[in-house]
Structure 1
């Protein structure tokens, strides 16, 4: 621990597991106060309790990021418990994969309500605090789907492309107020969701080996590798970096044909 985030207060959505929990953990290890936010109350409280046992200054707020009223309440509660936030990590998201013509209005709305509206709801609620601070950071967890199209994944990449547009628009809008807005686009990362996909295959070991082989580095990523990038973006080391999307995929998206 080198306290790169000392005196910072962060809100991390989707923090009960996977990348969100890895980011929350890395932030407290670097000296930040962290409000973990998730729609899964049980897992969120368990994760928060585990961090608190390590001496971290944390709290948990259960909220659905797709509900703007719930988000306003969440930010108010987090502020009351830990102080006004100066870092927001928009990590909460869902996966909706459909054939385009089989995509229902409900499928479309659900995907965008969480993956895009959720990012805006949280950003809108936190931005006034950042403006009062006179500086701050918003970090949106997008996806390689935000820049590359993978067949059979509609409409998820549409929402993630929009997250990059939102990132860039907000970054430029508030750049002269010392508020930085950036995105991180993970590729294959060894989260519980990916592990469940492997486990559901007829031959899990074969699918895992094939997936590893897709990557120039010959493995998939780890949640803590995404968390390390988030720490950097939230630190004072990245003060001149804004409106950017950092792709973390082991080089996979650079490969044209394989």
Structure 2
């Protein structure tokens, strides 16, 4: 039986988020060793590490603020030193974003979204590509937004940065395939974890909103965070060895 992953570890940015925690555990369950990135939630990173280690996985945790120049590359180098090789980069980092109309977005809000999600991803992706070129290839998995297919009102601060990253994923897939490096995206729908739950607590999503969103869903339920993990694991694994430059929308059929 083919191994799901080659030697090394998966490096996960955003591992301590509501969705990221479940993504990390799905990789651990699938047999991957983990390098977990944390910015402000060291306790969560340690908890995930303990759970994954209980499954027999080798786990390291690394502090990184992706908005700092050179930080992503340093974190990758630290992880590679522990694990010998990083075979997969999973990018799920991002701030909790306000729901606001495009015309009302402030310069500060826009710069924060772009600096974290676009500039941060570029830095992590570039460092990963350079590492993977020297280590037999690898894969990048970007956690994007189902809004890339059907734009939801007031979600510009989440959807637009991720849409920019989709273009970068295409570029990496095109340019780096010759180096056995693949790049794909999981488009994340409304998931009962992370940002959706946080914004619900703040009163952004009322009953009317729920009814309207359900009209756009083929499957009349919210997604579960482990379902994002299932797609990410597949795209990163050797079972997807001939898949690159693609998007899997895990969104209950949103927008079809």
**TM-score with structure 2 length normalisation?**
0.89
1:252 to partner: Cα distance: 1.6
Q: In the superposition, relative to structure 1, how do residues 109 and 228 fare at CA in structure 2: closer, same or farther (>3 Å)?
A: same
Match of 1:30 in 2: 30
Relative contact order, higher structure (CA 8 A, sep 6+): 2
Match of 1:71 in 2: 72
Match of 1:88 in 2: 89
Asked if the contact 1:35/1:78 (under 8 Å) is kept, the reply is: yes
User: What secondary structure does 1:18 align onto?
Assistant: coil
Point out the more displaced range, 121-130 or 202-211.
202-211
User: What secondary structure does 2:16 align onto?
Assistant: coil
Q: In the superposition, relative to structure 1, how do residues 193 and 161 fare at CA in structure 2: closer, same or farther (>3 Å)?
A: closer
What are the ranges of 5 or more consecutive residues in structure 2 without an aligned counterpart?
none
1:97 to partner: Cα distance: 3.4
Match of 1:134 in 2: 136
Q: In the superposition, relative to structure 1, how do residues 121 and 214 fare at CA in structure 2: closer, same or farther (>3 Å)?
A: same
User: What secondary structure does 1:61 align onto?
Assistant: strand
Pairing of 1:180-191 with structure 2 (within 5 A) = 180-191=182-193
**TM-score with structure 1 length normalisation?**
0.88
Q: In the superposition, relative to structure 1, how do residues 156 and 201 fare at CA in structure 2: closer, same or farther (>3 Å)?
A: closer
1:56 to partner: Cα distance: 2.0
Pairing of 1:162-241 with structure 2 (within 5 A) = 162-201=164-203, 214-241=216-243
RMSD (Å), alpha carbons: 2.3
1:47 aligns with 2:48: yes
| Aligned-partner Cα distance in 2 for 1:171–1:189 | 27
Q: In the superposition, relative to structure 1, how do residues 149 and 131 fare at CA in structure 2: closer, same or farther (>3 Å)?
A: same
User: What secondary structure does 1:185 align onto?
Assistant: strand
User: What secondary structure does 1:34 align onto?
Assistant: strand
Query: For 1:222-251, what per-residue CA distance to the aligned partner results, in whole angstroms no more than 9, with x for missing partners?
Result: 111111111111111111111111111111
Point out the more displaced range, 39-48 or 56-65.
39-48
User: What secondary structure does 2:156 align onto?
Assistant: coil
Match of 2:14 in 1: 14
Point out the more displaced range, 49-58 or 118-127.
49-58
| Aligned-partner Cα distance in 2 for 1:127–1:112 | 21
Q: In the superposition, relative to structure 1, how do residues 22 and 159 fare at CA in structure 2: closer, same or farther (>3 Å)?
A: same
1:7 to partner: Cα distance: 2.7
- What is the aligned length? 253
Q: In the superposition, relative to structure 1, how do residues 204 and 99 fare at CA in structure 2: closer, same or farther (>3 Å)?
A: closer
User: What secondary structure does 1:220 align onto?
Assistant: coil
Asked if the contact 1:14/1:92 (under 8 Å) is kept, the reply is: yes
| Aligned-partner Cα distance in 1 for 2:215–2:174 | 38
Match of 2:121 in 1: 119
Q: In the superposition, relative to structure 1, how do residues 213 and 151 fare at CA in structure 2: closer, same or farther (>3 Å)?
A: closer
1:183 to partner: Cα distance: 0.8
Q: In the superposition, relative to structure 1, how do residues 106 and 19 fare at CA in structure 2: closer, same or farther (>3 Å)?
A: same
